Amino acid sequence: MSTLNHPNIHQLTRNTIALILAGGRGSRLMEMTDWRAKPAVPFGGKFRIIDFPLSNCVNSGIRKIGVLTQYKAHSLILHIQQGWGFLRGEFGEYVELFPAQQRHDEDSWYKGTADAVFQNIDILRTRGPEHILILAGDHIYKMDYGAMLADHVEKKADLTIGCIEVSLEEATAFGVMDVDDNRRVKAFVEKPENPPVMPGRTDTALASMGIYIFNAGFLYEQLIKDADTKRSTHDFGKDIIPSVIEKYMVNAYPFLDLQSGAQSYWRDVGTIDAYWSANMELIGVDPNMNLYDKNWPIWTYQEQNPPAKFVFDDDDRRGEAVDSMVSGGCVVSGAKVRHSLLFSNVRVNSYTTLQDSIVLPQVNIGRHCRITKAIIEKGCEVPEGTIIGENRADDEKRFRVSPGGVVLVTPDMLGQKLRYVR
């Protein structure tokens, strides 16, 4: 596997354009994506999901980045404009928005992941990249794409697919690769009932992360061919990748820690349960996703807020937070917060207990509430005395309860005026 010592890695990253596919509906996140695209969903106390692939690009030395938007994109667009305008155009650096805009078709919507890139093929050609890195905008991980680029070049690949090792049970939810001992892809199957196992293993498969590196000229050829194929769904996983495996060099790149060789952290937060679990993992003493890593910072836009504050110190009215993450602007006023994550400008009032919960920005939780294993959506005004997470039947009458028992609460469910959620 390639290392960070590849002699031309800086030149490789400079001659690469990254395209982040950020137009998906994210319908499995239910009401959380009613008014925002999935990549714009808040995560980790102060970030948005899209901040992770964007930060990976910048930290990897890739500073030519296009974000392809579509579904309910205003929140996403505003976030990128406010938080990602620091790259210098004078040096050929940019984070640029590529909305669906009828460049090659009267139908303004992107028909699939491959069509989204095809619709912008003329823009890509004028930029003249050597390689094009295609990323999903809705996964949580930290990855040096430079190492993957170096591996792509050393293998003389036409296409390299980033992949993770998963159990055979998990593999049925992914695009799965069958590879030989040299990591050359022999087959690619979407959500197989019987996934092919990795060489030398009996219980592990290689699943696609939705990360692709193409040689630019090769990508253009395949996009044009796919656009002319009437029966195609215009998707990388379903159409383009299976069509090129036999004739071209398609390489699998396992996402492993370069020092230890262990599987690196990657999470698909596409469901309420997965989103809750990934946020809860951050609270641990030694989480696999380290947000405090100064060598690989995650950038975002954030308002200027005052420090978090904890007030009152009476025996029955003490403002405290234990095993929790609390963002700026929060006030914990005579309440107990345990193993929870509070985004910015949250107020938790006296005699309330909050346990195993995620509270998005600008929420006010009234007095004498008991809330357990919940996600409180942005802007909620939780009434005094509200009990959530103790009786599933009662919760299901008012709120959204996930298969794993996570209770999602929105302003609309509380009978409050539904407003635009950014």
CA distances from 91 to 120, 159, 199, 332 (A): 22, 28, 44, 45
Ligand-binding site membership of 191 (annotated): yes
Cα 153 from Cα 156, distance rounded (Å): 5
Q: What is the pLDDT of residue 98?
A: 92
- Residue 203 pLDDT > 50, yes or no? yes
Q: What's the whole-model pTM score?
A: 0.94
CA distances from 376 to 86, 214, 218, 305, 324 (A): 32, 41, 46, 20, 16
113 φ, ψ (degrees, to nearest 5): -65, -40
Residues ≥6 apart with Cβ < 8 Å to 86 = none
The average confidence (pLDDT) of the chain is 93
Cα 279 from Cα 377, distance rounded (Å): 14
323 touches 336 (CB < 8 A):
no
Q: Per-residue confidence at 1, pLDDT binned at 50, 70, 90? A: very low
Ligand-binding site membership of 265 (annotated): no
- DSSP assignment of 62-116: --EEEEEE-TT-HHHHHHHHHHS--S-GGGT-EEEEEE---SS-SS-S--SHHHH
pLDDT in tens, 206-265: 999 999 999 999 999 999 999 999 999 999 999 999 999 999 999 999 998 877 788 899
CA distances from 418 to 296, 380, 410 (A): 38, 10, 9
Ligand-binding site membership of 110 (annotated): yes
Percent of residues, the chain, with pLDDT higher than 70: 95
- DSSP assignment of 326-379: E-TT-EEES-EEES-EE-TT-EE-TT-EEES-EE-SS-EE-TT-EEESEEE-TT
Q: What is the pLDDT of residue 6?
A: 57
Which amino acid would we find at residue 216?
A
pLDDT in tens, 296-316: 999 999 889 999 999 999 999
Cα 307 from Cα 92, distance rounded (Å): 37
Ligand-binding site membership of 60 (annotated): no
Ligand-binding site membership of 162 (annotated): no
Q: What is the pLDDT of residue 25?
A: 74
Could you give all domains of the chain from N- to C-terminal order, each with its CATH number? 9-283 (3.90.550.10), 309-414 (2.160.10.10)
Cα 4 from Cα 259, distance rounded (Å): 11
